[in-house]
Structure 1
Amino acid sequence: MKLYLPVHCHEIGQRSNNEDAIYPEEVSEKNRLFMVCDGVGGQAKGEVASSMVCTGLSKYLSENPMGNIEDETYLPSALQSIEQHMGEYLETHPEAMGMASTLTLLLISDTDNKALIGWVGDSRIYHIRDGEVLFQTKDHSVVQSMVDMGEITEEEAQTHPKRNIITRAINGTNPTRIDQKVIGDIKANDFFFLCSDGIMENLSKKEIGAWFKESKTVDEIKSNILANAQGVTKDNYSMYLIKISG
């Protein structure tokens, strides 16, 4: 598959520092691996955690190329390697204890019309075609659990006081699980949208659908996203936007 030149943003928002991390920081049409991570921990070095996840996973995937995109053991093995590395870091940097990171990962196949996505926490990945969200990752969060149990609606979840509490994160001390899915039958003009939860503070699913029409370019959509977030979003906000050209 070929890609249009992907676009990204990596903004501090109204925070004092940026705990998000993205990969790659410099992009070309040849990139097939994309990640957005949101660090957790504030003074406990959330920015270190997110950077370690992005850097470590990109190195692991480079040194251990994936043979089959449908191999369900690959991402868990990669995550285990990162957790071990983070654990070793914490042994020599006890001041960073408590740091953690979410993860969204997109790996696009070079050989067929498939992509592998993986996620931990409440950063999200969307697969969008003609303005319709075909797939959306499910947050590992307290409010998502409440929605699943029918205690609150999706609309109530957007403003719930516990909306920022996540139930999974990569922290190097307690092993976690990565959810994954293979997206098949990818078509020209499909979009993949990876974002930290800061992007979603003031963005609804309806707005996402309206912006991702077939005629829209990645630059036009990025402009809409930034206009929606700048000066309003309290959290850091980061995203990657990838459009399939054929």
Structure 2
Amino acid sequence: MLALQTTYTSQTGQRKRNEDTCGYWTSDTACCWVVSDGAGGHGSGDVASQLVVNTTLTQFEAKPEVSEQVVTDLTTGAHSAVMEHKHRNPEGDDMHATVAVLLIDAGTRQAVWAHVGDTRIYLFRRRKIALQTRDHSLVQQLIDAGYGNEEIIRTHPQRNMLTSAIGSNDEMTISVSGTPILVEEGDLFLMCTDGWWEYLEEHVMEEMLEDATSAKEWLEVMAQRVESSAKENADNYTAVAIQVGELEEVTTVIR
């Protein structure tokens, strides 16, 4: 049976309200983590992200199974909940949200995930990034088409424009991990909104993890970097770290 430890932070940044929401539900077998970044005027971004997280966790608690189909159903269920709320409140604005969902079966050691938008999931193995989701964003499309490299993803003036979102009237794209992967002792999953990863390049995440003794310590160090690097009117930021067992020992080689 896997030992799983969860650490998280969700902060307002320099905005008036926090439109990020995160949550998790765990049992001795199946476990679910979800992060959502809401958007919309008059506080409706709060409502959107809370609907996404609450709906996802409620659905999973009713059917705590880990599979590609289940994580897809959880995501479409969250989308339906936001769309239903919008239909019941036609006077409201066009609220929408991102979502990232991670499921782990602690018995079989299998993990699957899905995401919509630019809230990300990373898998760190032996303190290096082994897997990373790809954003549903205009800038990611530009990079894929050869109109720039990964460096523009944090600086482009249209970096916040999404090509898929929960609650959008357009057709929604869901990216799913596919065949479940087997997690290993020492693995770390990081789920984070764009207000977090915008100020932490991937090599910085790895460098900070090299010196960390736990997911909690790692998250605290990264949060300090986000706070110190944040610009005026910096976005909300949320990060959830899931540590599998104990981190492997760091070996320092003296030459």
Using structure 1 for the length normalisation, give the TM-score. 0.89
Match of residue 222 from structure 1: 219
Match of residue 190 from structure 1: 187
Q: Secondary structure of the equivalent of 2:56? A: helix
Q: Give the letter aligned to residue 125 of structure 2.
A: R
Q: 2: distance between equivalents of 1:201 and 1:52? A: 25
Offset, 1:96: 2.9
- Please give the residue correspondences for 1:1-246 in structure 2 after superposition, counting only pairs within 5 Å: 1-24=1-24, 32-43=31-42, 45-66=44-65, 69-70=66-67, 72-171=68-167, 173-181=169-177, 182-213=179-210, 216-230=213-227, 232-233=229-230, 234-245=234-245
Q: Secondary structure of the equivalent of 2:91? A: helix
What's the C-alpha RMSD, in Å, of the aligned pairs?
2.3
CA contact (8 A) 1:105 1:117 kept: yes
| Relative contact order higher in (CA < 8 Å, ≥ 6 apart) | 1
Offset, 1:28: 9.3
Q: 2: distance between equivalents of 1:29 and 1:222? A: 25
Moved over 3 A (4+): 26-31, 172-175
Change (3 A) 1:235 1:30: farther
Change (3 A) 1:173 1:105: same
Offset, 1:91: 2.3
Using structure 2 for the length normalisation, give the TM-score. 0.87
Q: 2: distance between equivalents of 1:82 and 1:200? A: 24
Segments of structure 1 that go 5 or more residues without pairing to the other structure are: none
Segments of structure 2 that go 5 or more residues without pairing to the other structure are: 247-255
